[in-house]
Structure 1
Amino acid sequence: MTPTDKSAEKFERQMNLLAALSDTVQGIRAIDIQQRVPGYNADHDSFRRTFERDKKDLLSLGVPIEVVAGATADLTAYRVDKSKYELPDPGLESDELAALHLALETVTVGSSPGDMARAMWRLGGVVDAASTNPVGVPVGELTEIPSDASLVPLFRAVMERRVVSFTYESTSGTSLRSVEPWHLDFKRGRWNLTAFDLERNEQRNFRLDRVRSEVEMADAGSQSHGVPATPTAQAEPWEFGDNEPVVISVKFDAEVSEFARQSLASCPVSDQADGGATFEVPVTNWPAFRSFVLSFLDHAEILAPPESRASLSQWLEAIGGDVHG
């Protein structure tokens, strides 16, 4: 039997012992444990040695094994008081259960979907789409936050400060990127990575849905650039591009200026006499920023540079021609 097989056998035996000790009120005698709990040797001396080691291991893990004294040593029994050991209902809200579910979906350590479902049930269940009450419905129905094949290795790379490489598709084409991952965030339905790009020698933002290969990881601690002490703001869609940033001046009417301030909080702003505001926005992804500006309809106007004004006009004219032609 290999060491791995022995460890698995020991773990299974100790879990069976814990189940037996938890399933009795009066206690269970050693001789009954030997006969009922799978994994123990029929030889008395061998059983006693193994049983004592298992008790010691469980006690070191915080399992409150109680000894129920009998009239003689043979009548001594053992038990685990569930009220002192089992996790009480933590009373988690639906959003807290959703966060735990996401963690289970993202990082698993040899767990099957059934194991994750049972773990969620013990913490209060999962959320039924038709109710706010925690019930035992399939875990997969809890949340629609998407996962991604590159998410788990990138989480690991962030935690262990590993350099990673992957093929990435950007607005300028597909290329191999080597980066030092700093942090991941989920925004507007997508996972995004903020990292230090080693080829471009600066911070860049990456959308995980544009990663076109497996993530290759270097050794732990291979990053050479320090993570900024002050976390950077979450990247906006118009910041995901490989082109040189173009600063676009945009004026927003008073009716929408407050919302614009929230969306462009990191950009320089000039207040206008009529209550509007003009922002200077660095853009590396023009189509994304164009969509953002158009979402304000006639309450937003690109002032400069002239090339951006002309590009927007031409695009609108082309769209209008397609609609009427």
Structure 2
Amino acid sequence: MTLKRTILSAGLAGVMALGMGSIAQAADLIAIITPSHDNPFFKAEADGAEAKAKELGYEALVLVHDDDANKQSELIDSVIARGAKAIILDNAGADATVAAVQKAKDAGIPSFLIDREINATGVAVAQIVSNNYQGAQLGAEEFVKLMGEEGNYVELVGKESDTNAGIRSKGYHDVIDEYPDLNMVARQSANWSQTEAFEKMESILQANPDIKGVISGNDTMAMGAWAALEAAGRDDVIVVGFDGSNDVRDSIIAGGVKATVLQPAYGIAQIAVEQADAYIKNGSASEPEKQLMDCVLINADNASKLETFALTN
């Protein structure tokens, strides 16, 4: 072989190797699918997962299902077609999601669920969620204290299809119902929505002008309720939320909403990606499927340390 041909062959081999490396790198895709980023909680999840995936050398594909199970199924079809290595998913329904996650599993793609569980085990590799019951009890205990253990109150509940809505409500009532002088005069779902919570709160307030408190299944609804109360000149009403959003943090510091419960969305999403990375490399789960992360009470004492669903030192 001539020197010229040797150099040409070596160069061609180098180009091919580079090309193959690019293909391999592009194939190392982690898909991150959450509800709408209009809710800062879900945006924090997506941001945390994306940052960790990139840090670990993966391509990150961030998608939104808008709490639509059909759209979620279509997105999972698309990431299966792209040959994703793993899926990080905050799902669109405890029952409706099972088939979609099973479909990914059948295609050899492991799913790591965050924030919301599904009504099946052995389908996802991991279901990493905040300890919603423990967190709700923290919030309820603070609510009881702020209420002085008496008075009429309202509960705003999240989406009925979301298991977290029921778990948080149970956690609230297992504490509050121990106090006979606390009287729930209304309980309505506002579907995790700030706009819907505002509208529901306006109607509830007209029917029950003597309410003293509102306990909410998430911060977005708490902010909607607080806006309606402020508009009605009722900034004396005690409002407690759940999530640990920056909006509620600012409201607490300003003397509006009184408390919330932090669930570490950003950190949980990063843990899911780390476990996905370990699974991709080792072919087995590094942790049990069901994993609970404890929540933290946020009030005027520590609200200033809260930033993007995480406590700073």
More strand per residue: 1
Greater RCO, CA 8 A, separation 6+: 2
More helix per residue: 2
Q: Do the structures match in fold with TM over 0.5?
A: no
Larger radius of gyration: 1
TM-score, structure 2 length as denominator? Answer: 0.26
